[in-house]
């Protein structure tokens, strides 16, 4: 007889209530960052992926009912193959209840998950089964008005010890990016 560890209970993850979402969407539009890919943010995500040595890195803006990856670095040529043999390729949008970024935005704090399966609250998240995400590191993009616009995050398909250096790096990158986003909007210049 073989032992199979119990699978996480679907639906255990509760996406936190986000009362700032309507104001955030308005602020993102004013900054010119509403639901469109931004090549400079793709380059930023690519740099973060290389720095972190991960397959996934994103600049994610969280709306009322979905998340939008304005910056995305993902393995398009080598999609994650699910247990049933089908392939998953990460696109630019996810429902708000997928992933970990909505938690970072509402908490307004960085989140480090070395192995998401170790946390009952996060183990049942759809991105674990859909894309094989097993570790996550994200920091909020908090603008000068104090609003959390979204996140900068990195994710891996294997457990990973991010350490203090990883946490410090993601927080510094998030702070630097917010300055660039606001300066670009203020000066009317591209990122």
Mean pLDDT score, 130-134: 88
The pLDDT of residue 45? 97
The pLDDT of residue 79? 64
Cα-trace Rg, the chain: 16
Give residue-wise pLDDT tens across range 42-99.
Answer: 999 999 999 999 999 999 999 999 999 999 998 765 566 677 777 777 788 899 989 8
Task: Find out whether 90 and 57 touch, Cβ atoms under 8 Å.
Answer: no
What is the spatial distance between Cα 97 and Cα 128, in angstroms, rounded to a whole number? 12
**Helix H or strand E segment including 138:** strand 135-142
What is the spatial distance between Cα 98 and Cα 89, in angstroms, rounded to a whole number? 14
Give residue-wise pLDDT tens across range 97-116.
Answer: 898 999 999 999 999 999 99
- For tokens 């908490």, the residue is 107
Give residue-wise pLDDT tens across range 137-170.
Answer: 999 999 999 999 999 999 999 999 999 999 999 9
**What CATH number has the domain spanning 21-76+85-186?**
3.30.450.40
What is the spatial distance between Cα 82 and Cα 37, in angstroms, rounded to a whole number? 27
What is the spatial distance between Cα 191 and Cα 180, in angstroms, rounded to a whole number? 7
Mean pLDDT score, 7-27: 74
Give residue-wise pLDDT tens across range 161-180.
Answer: 999 999 999 999 999 999 99
CA atoms within 13 A on the CB side of 191: 20
Determine whether 127 is exposed, middle or buried from the number of CB atoms within 10 Å of its CB (0-12, 13-18, 19+).
buried
Of the candidates 94, 105, 91, 97, which has an alpha carbon nearest to the alpha carbon of residue 37?
91
Mean pLDDT score, 127-140: 92
**Helix H or strand E segment including 155:** strand 148-156
Question: If pLDDT is split at 50, 70 and 90, which confidence band does 32 have?
Answer: confident
């Amino acid at each position: 007889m073989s032992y199979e560890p119990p699978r996480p209970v679907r639906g255990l993850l509760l996406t936190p209530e986000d009362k700032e979402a309507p104001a955030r969407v308005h602020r993102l539009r004013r900054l010119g960052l509403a639901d469109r890919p931004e090549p400079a943010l793709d380059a930023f995500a690519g740099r973060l992926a290389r720095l972190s040595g991960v397959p996934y890195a994103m600049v994610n803006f969280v709306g009322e009912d979905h998340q939008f990856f304005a910056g995305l670095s993902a393995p398009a040529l080598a999609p994650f193959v699910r247990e049933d043999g089908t392939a998953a390729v990460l696109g630019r949008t996810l429902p708000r209840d997928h992933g970990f970024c909505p938690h970072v935005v509402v908490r307004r704090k960085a989140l480090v998950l070395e192995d998401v399966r170790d946390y009952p609250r996060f183990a049942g998240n759809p991105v674990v089964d859909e894309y094989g995400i097993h570790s996550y590191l994200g920091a909020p993009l908090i603008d000068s008005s104090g609003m959390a616009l979204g996140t900068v995050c990195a994710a891996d398909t294997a457990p990973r010890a991010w350490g203090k250096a990883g946490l410090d790096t993601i927080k510094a990158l998030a702070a630097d990016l917010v300055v660039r986003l606001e300066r670009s909007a203020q000066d009317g210049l591209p990122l």
